[in-house]
């Protein structure tokens, strides 16, 4: 029986979302702008990477052609010349949020048809009664932050005060999130998770997508670093997904990285978390060896987004793409006859764009293995779930 592998390169958008202007993102193009910066020598970091963007394996699968479908242009360095070795297309998101759960749930066949609750870009950002309830129920002496922020900038600005006062740093973004940063030793990791569980219950009535624990270590503002112990407390998807369908059909399911958290651990099978893209790819390769016939592996590669997109680090993002590309053949070498690999993304996070938030973009859909026909413009990410469940011969299709 054939197997399916869905790899989500978190935030690797390819520009051109038809509704981008509504988000202030008209013209954003994560892959296109990175490739252009590389081509003009603006993404050189000696010791890390230099020169034009080199993604030979993704280009061979048709990444450049997927970009052409999305924007009309092939970014520099992504023209392959030959016939793409895989099926390629681009997909637009129907869910209104440009966040990680919305993107992943839609990929899995469950678009978000309601509006998430967001916190305003004011100071304070959170409703005072929410903060009061959190302090009372989690026994906190108060909170710091209470605003929109970049997670790395706010721990540098407020980390020392946090350690001194015991007040956790609470912040949000353009996503539907309530994020809590606290020092792993001074505040305690278990205590941070406990505070997040209280916050999760309190923001449920506000339709907030995720409460995220953001632990960090270090002694001074220049030395604070976030650890791999991040934990996302998400609400479960509002309807069935391809994971539910695979589980109901008795198939083997392996979820790598953040997928377990993103789906609130519903039908997420064997969960294999890992920290960092290299370890995530290692786990994916282990999964290619371990996944039973007829099984589904679903992996998320978070570094593109959290380490480079939100940090607006063009050279770092380019290097991460190149590192992923270099290792793709290791996965292909482990495939069995009839296996299907789908490489896609959940939203954009253009590192050349103002601010530090996600960008509303189309995403690439590249397939390798079974079925190499061009996929064209897909009107919903849910077309991926349809393709995967058809391939696995599971009698469930998302409503598209």
Ligand X SMILES: O=P(O)(O)O[C@H]1O[C@H](CO)[C@@H](O)[C@H]1O
Residue 358 known to bind ligand: yes
Which residues ranging from 335 to 354 are in contact with Mn ion (CB under 5 A)? 346
Residue 340: HSE in the Cβ half-sphere, 13 Å Cα cutoff: 26
Residue nearest to Mn ion (CB): 100
Least separation in angstroms between residue 148's CB and ligand X is: 8
Binding mask 339-358 for ligand X (x = CB under 6 A): -----------------x--
Residue 346 known to bind ligand: yes
Site membership for ligand X, residue 306 (CB under 6 A): yes
Residue 168 tokens, joined? 């956790």
Least separation in angstroms between residue 351's CB and Mn ion is: 12
Instruction: Please pick, from the candidates 94, 150, 217, 275, the single residue that binds ligand X as defined by CB under 6 A.
Output: 150
What torsion do the CA atoms of 160, 165, 167, 168 make, to the nearest 10 degrees? 30
Q: In whole angstroms, what is the distance from residue 146 CA to residue 125 CA?
A: 5
Q: In whole angstroms, what is the distance from residue 350 CA to residue 11 CA?
A: 8
Paired with 16 in beta bridges are 361
Q: In whole angstroms, what is the distance from residue 233 CA to residue 262 CA?
A: 8
| Tokens 């407020």 sit on residue | 158
Q: In whole angstroms, what is the distance from residue 162 CA to residue 156 CA?
A: 10
Number of residues that bind ligand X (CB under 6 A): 11
Q: Which of ligand X, Mn ion, none does 10 bind, CB closer than 5 to 8 A by kind?
A: Mn ion
Which residues ranging from 83 to 142 are in contact with Mn ion (CB under 5 A)? 100
Paired with 343 in beta bridges are 7, 366
Least separation in angstroms between residue 56's CB and ligand X is: 30
Instruction: Please pick, from the candidates 173, 300, 344, 389, the single residue that binds ligand X as defined by CB under 6 A.
Output: 173
Q: Crossing angle, helix 277-290 and helix 314-333, to 10 degrees? A: 20
Which span sits near ligand X by CB under 6 A: 60-68, 169-177, 198-206, 270-278? 169-177
DSSP annotation of 20: G
Residue 148 known to bind ligand: no
Nearer of residues 87 and 260 to Mn ion, judged by Cβ: 260
Site membership for Mn ion, residue 357 (CB under 5 A): no
Site membership for ligand X, residue 359 (CB under 6 A): no
In 3D space, the residue among 269, 207, 215, 271 whose CA is nearest the CA of residue 238 turns out to be 207
Nearer of residues 10 and 25 to Mn ion, judged by Cβ: 10
Site membership for Mn ion, residue 305 (CB under 5 A): yes
Least separation in angstroms between residue 301's CB and ligand X is: 13
Q: How far is CA 100 from CA 103, 112, 124, in A?
A: 5, 12, 25
For binding to ligand X (CB under 6 A), which residues are involved? 100, 150-151, 173, 175, 177, 179, 212, 306, 310, 356
């Amino acid at each position: 029986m054939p197997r399916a592998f869905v790899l989500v390169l978190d935030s690797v958008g390819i520009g051109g979302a038809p509704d981008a202007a509504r988000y202030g993102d008209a013209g954003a193009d994560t892959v296109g702008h990175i490739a252009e910066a590389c081509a003009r020598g603006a993404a050189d970091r000696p010791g890390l990477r230099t020169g034009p963007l080199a993604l030979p394996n993704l280009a061979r699968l048709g990444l450049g052609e997927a970009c052409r479908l999305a924007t009309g242009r092939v970014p520099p360095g992504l023209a392959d010349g030959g016939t793409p070795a895989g099926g390629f297309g681009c997909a637009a998101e129907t869910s209104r949020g440009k966040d990680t759960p919305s993107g992943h749930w839609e990929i899995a066949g469950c678009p978000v048809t309601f509006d998430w609750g967001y916190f305003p870009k004011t100071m304070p950002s959170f409703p005072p009664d929410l903060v009061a309830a959190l302090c009372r129920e989690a026994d906190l002496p108060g909170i710091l932050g209470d605003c929109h922020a970049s997670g790395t900038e706010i721990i540098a600005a407020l980390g020392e005060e946090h350690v001194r006062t015991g007040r956790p740093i609470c912040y949000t973004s353009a996503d539907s999130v309530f994020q809590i940063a606290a020092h792993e030793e001074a505040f305690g990791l278990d205590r941070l998770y406990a505070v997040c569980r209280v916050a999760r219950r309190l923001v449920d009535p506000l339709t907030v997508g995720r409460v995220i624990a953001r632990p960090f270590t270090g002694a001074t503002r220049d030395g604070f670093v976030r650890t791999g112990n991040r934990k996302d407390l998400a609400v479960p998807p509002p309807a069935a997904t391809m994971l539910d369908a695979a589980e109901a059909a008795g198939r083997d399911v392996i979820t790598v990285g953040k997928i377990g958290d993103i789906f609130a651990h519903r039908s997420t099978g064997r969960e294999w978390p890992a920290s960092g893209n290299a370890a995530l790819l290692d786990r994916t390769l282990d999964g290619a060896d371990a996944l039973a016939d007829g099984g589904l592996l679903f992996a998320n590669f978070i570094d593109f987004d959290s380490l480079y997109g939100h940090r607006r680090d063009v050279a770092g993002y380019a290097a991460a793409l190149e590192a992923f590309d270099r290792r793709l053949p290791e996965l292909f070498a482990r495939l069995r006859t009839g296996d299907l690999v789908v490489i896609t993304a959940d939203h954009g996070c253009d590192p050349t764009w103002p601010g530090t938030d996600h960008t509303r973009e189309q995403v690439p859909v590249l397939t390798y293995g079974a079925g190499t026909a061009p996929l064209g413009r897909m009107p919903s990410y849910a077309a991926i779930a349809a393709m995967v469940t058809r391939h696995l011969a599971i009698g469930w299709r998302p409503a598209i």
